[in-house]
Amino acid sequence: MQNYFDLTGKVALITGGSRGLGREMALAFADAGADIIISSRKLASCEEVALEVRGMGRRALAVASHAGKWDENDRLVEAAYREFGHVDILVNNAGMSPAVPSPEVSEVLFDKVIALNFKGPFRLSSLVGPRMMTAGGGSIINISSGASFKPMPQVVAYAGAKAALNAMTVSLAQEFGPLVRVNAISAGPFLTDISKAWSEEARRTANNAAGRPGRPDEIVTTALYLASPASSYVSGAIVRCDGGLR
């Protein structure tokens, strides 16, 4: 039977790829045959994941880049194409979700949240998408959040940015189609580094059908599905991977 998750010969660029869900996706894509570009603000952390990828027999490039800054996204794309010549999979994973009462949100914090969760993915997609079209195809995956469907208090800017990301996903699917597919994963609570600040109960239970937060590796099959030929007829979709959030 055909291996629908085969990514042999593909190159994947993952922002926020040095830890959490980004790291899990980077290693899963490498295991499926892809070469990987790992990007985050800390080069040493990117290099650690790149070393793991190389240990799997794949090529890897570590790039220090702030995903919320326009010019750094430009440099990231140039570095990726200079090293590999093509990018077949783009995962806009970097994000931040500070819980702050709305009256206490400064303009600086508001702009940072919007930049990292929406402006950055827009810029990267706008740079990579047309090159994917010229090359004959590709897949863009935006990591969204259940907060975009069910906004909660104290994360208004984050929820708004992720809702904008969902709208961008649908719009760019139309703009870059039919050769390039653009989809989003609406992620629920996952036990990544951020969960260290949660209460013990929050780490054990969740208000979803699964009754618990997800393990970071549980993002993998959804990401592989959207990155690979398995989802060849899926574009403009917001796929929920949240344990059935209520």
Query: How large is the average pLDDT for residues 78-88?
Result: 98
Query: How large is the average pLDDT for residues 81-106?
Result: 95
Q: Say which amino acid occupies 102.
A: S
Compare 150 and 72 and report the one with higher pLDDT. 72
Residue 2 has pLDDT above 60, yes or no: no
Long-range contacts of residues 72-76, Cβ cutoff 8 Å, at least 24 apart: 73/120, 73/123, 73/124, 73/127, 74/123, 74/127, 76/13, 76/15, 76/37, 76/39, 76/124
Catalytic residue positions, numbered? 144, 158, 162
The tens digit of pLDDT for each residue in 221-243 reads: 999 999 999 999 999 999 999 99
pLDDT of residue 191: 87
The tens digit of pLDDT for each residue in 155-202 reads: 999 999 999 999 999 999 999 999 999 999 999 988 887 777 778 888
Please, what is the average pLDDT of the chain? 95
Q: pLDDT band for position 67 (50/70/90)?
A: very high
Name all domains of the chain by residue range, CATH numbers in brackets: 11-241 (3.40.50.720)
The length of the chain is: 246
Residue 207 has pLDDT above 50, yes or no: yes
pLDDT of residue 92: 98
Quote the percentage of the chain above a pLDDT of 90. Answer: 87
Q: What is the dihedral of CA 157, 174, 94, 114, to 10 degrees?
A: -20
pLDDT of residue 201: 87
Residues linked to residue 180 through DSSP beta bridges, in sequence order: 138
Task: Tell me the pTM.
Answer: 0.95
Query: How large is the average pLDDT for residues 87-103?
Result: 94
Residues linked to residue 245 through DSSP beta bridges, in sequence order: 208
